[in-house]
Amino acid sequence: MTEPQSPTSVRWQIVGLVFLIYVLMFIDRVNISIAAKFIMPEYGLSEVEFGWIFSAFVLGYALAQIPGGWLGDRFGPRRVMTWAIIWWSVFTAVTAVAGELFLASMFGVVGSFAIVRILTGLGEAAAPPNGNRIVANWAAPNERAFALGIAISGTSLGAALTPPLIVWIMITWGWREAFYISGAAGVLVAVLWYWLSTDTPAEHPRTNAAERDLIDIDAEATRAAAALGLKVPWRKLFGARDLWLLTAAYVVLGYIVYFYFAWFYLYLVNERGFSVTSGGFYTMAPFLTCAVAGPFGGWLSDRLCQRYGQRAGRCGLGFVSMTLTGLLLLVGASIEDAVIAVVMLSLSLGALYLSVSSFWAVTIDLSRTYAGTISGFMNMGGNLGGTVSPTLTPYIAQTYDWQTALSVMGVLSLLAGLCWLGIHPETEIDLSEE
């Protein structure tokens, strides 16, 4: 009698590659917030002016989310992701000379940096929706949120590694070299991704029948073919109330997260009194918390879905996560002891990341066929929130104080938690009339 064939584990290798891309993506995103300590005095830029540079990146990143997701649905995530990595890596390297480019004579130093960062954001925009498209194609239904949690934890690890790594490079060689090294690493990751990945399990030479059956390969192939061959039902997709509620909550998530990306290091150094070096290490804390919370939140969401249904597993966890985030932000903002404040604020971001995989899994639950497109829409909303945050946060801090700026984030998180109560991931968006 023939022994049943054990599934191969290629799907987890593909998820691991997405994890690596997300690590790179966030090193290239956060490095400028560390380099700002050196760039600002060199060019005489204020915090508000540098906030515009932060916001420029997020604006380009936000506006290209839907096109990036649609390209992945239409042409496949393997090619789209490859070119996206190369694009943003080139402009990451160009950031090193943005202050001396011809653009500086036309638009000023702030304008030149802003344009380069917008172009960097346009490239990075394709990564999250195409990572989601890959998980939709490759993950088994009961492993989906966990796979997303692993992939998304790459963003946390990248953000955690960046402060000490970039500080060390800047002290050793200079801030410009940090951007050159990051750009070169990106080209290598792009080559690795194109060499080892495929759009679907059916195309990969190392998947066996058992793994393809586990992933539900027939349904995946049918849906992928439909996405390639049919017109995108824009009105139906973007008329869905669930998607708008999900996106509204993600706007708040983006607003909060970009405080940590853009200002947390400078908040610790300038407001809480940490040194340049110790601030770099303490800045790791919230992102290391997220690196654990992301996969755990994904695993927990899948288990809750299996036991209690998708509404409890996705929406219940999302509500608890954002409520806890808001409460911890309010506590962290008000505590006088700097180290305890770091602990509370780190736990706050970790609590927020418990729900990140649920956000992305719901976009697949609502429409697996168009998962790249609708996750791009959701992520656009999150990054429009992120566009506002780097400029509005220091403005509130200068007008009132940093405690107020952080408390605003806490209240917004409590309100965003309520959005989860109106979402129904157990029901796909009805596309039948399109």
Q: Give the CATH number for residue 368.
A: 1.20.1250.20
Distance CA 262, CA 32 (A): 8
Write out the residue range of the structural domain in which residue 395 sits: 10-422
Domain membership of residue 240 (yes or no) is yes
Q: Is residue 230 part of a domain?
A: yes
In this structure, is residue 4 part of a structural domain? no
Write out 356-370 in H/E/C secondary structure.
HHHHHHHHHHHCCCC
Between vectors from CA 292 to CA 288 and to CA 295, what angle results, nearest 5°?
135
Q: Count the alpha carbons within 13 Å of 76 in the hemisphere toward its beta carbon.
A: 12
- The pLDDT assigned to 430 comes to 75
Cβ atoms within 10 Å of 9's Cβ, excluding its own: 13
Residue 342 lies in a domain: yes
Distance CA 35, CA 27 (A): 12
3-state secondary structure the chain: CCCCCCCCCHHHHHHHHHHHHHHHHHHHHHHHHHHHHHHHHHHCCCHHHHHHHHHHHHHHHHHCHHHHHHHHHHHCHHHHHHHHHHHHHHHHHHHHHHHHCHHHHHHHHHHHHHHHHHHHHHHHCCHHHHHHHHHHHHCCHHHHHHHHHHHHHHHHHHHHHHHHHHHHHHHHCCHHHHHHHHHHHHHHHHHHHHHHCCCCHHHCCCCCHHHHHHHCHHHHHHHHHHHHHCCCCHHHHHCCHHHHHHHHHHHHHHHHHHHHHHCHHHHHHHHCCCCHHHHHHHCHHHHHHHHHHHHHHHHHHHHHHHHHCHHHHHHHHHHHHHHHHHHHHHHHHHCCCHHHHHHHHHHHHHHHHCCHHHHHHHHHHHCCCCHHHHHHHHHHHHHHHHHHHHHHHHHHHHHCCHHHHHHHHHHHHHHHHHHHHHCCCCCCCCCCCC
The sign one gets for the Cα dihedral 132, 59, 163, 321 is negative
Q: Residue 356 is encoded by which pair of tokens?
A: 């990140």
> Quick check: 237 and 243 in contact, CB under 8 A?
yes
Q: How many CB atoms lie within 10 A of CB 27?
A: 24
Cα–Cα distance, 11 to 327 (Å, whole number): 37
Query: What does the pLDDT read at residue 365?
Result: 87
What is the pLDDT at residue 20?
Answer: 92
Question: CB of 356 within 8 A of CB of 300?
Answer: no
Q: At how many degrees (to 10) do helices 356-366 and 371-399 cross?
A: 140
Would residue 351 count as lying in a domain?
yes
CB atoms within 10 A of CB 433: 7
In a domain, 112, yes or no: yes
Query: pLDDT by residue for the chain (434 residues), tens digit each?
Result: 455 678 888 889 999 999 999 988 888 887 887 788 888 888 888 877 887 887 788 788 888 888 888 888 888 899 999 999 999 999 999 999 888 877 877 878 888 898 999 999 999 999 988 998 898 888 887 888 888 888 888 877 777 777 777 778 888 888 889 899 989 999 999 999 999 999 888 888 898 888 888 887 545 544 554 455 556 788 888 888 999 999 999 999 999 998 987 788 888 888 887 887 787 778 888 888 988 898 999 999 999 998 998 899 999 999 999 999 999 999 999 998 888 999 999 999 999 999 999 998 999 888 877 878 888 889 889 888 887 887 888 889 989 988 999 999 999 999 999 999 999 988 888 776 54
> Measured over all CA atoms, what is the biggest interatomic distance in the chain, rounded to whole angstroms?
77
- Within-domain flag for 255: yes
Nearest to 249 by CA among 315, 305, 298: 315
**Tally of structural domains, the chain:** 1
| pLDDT at residue 4, as a whole number | 64
Residue 292 is assigned to a structural domain of this protein? yes
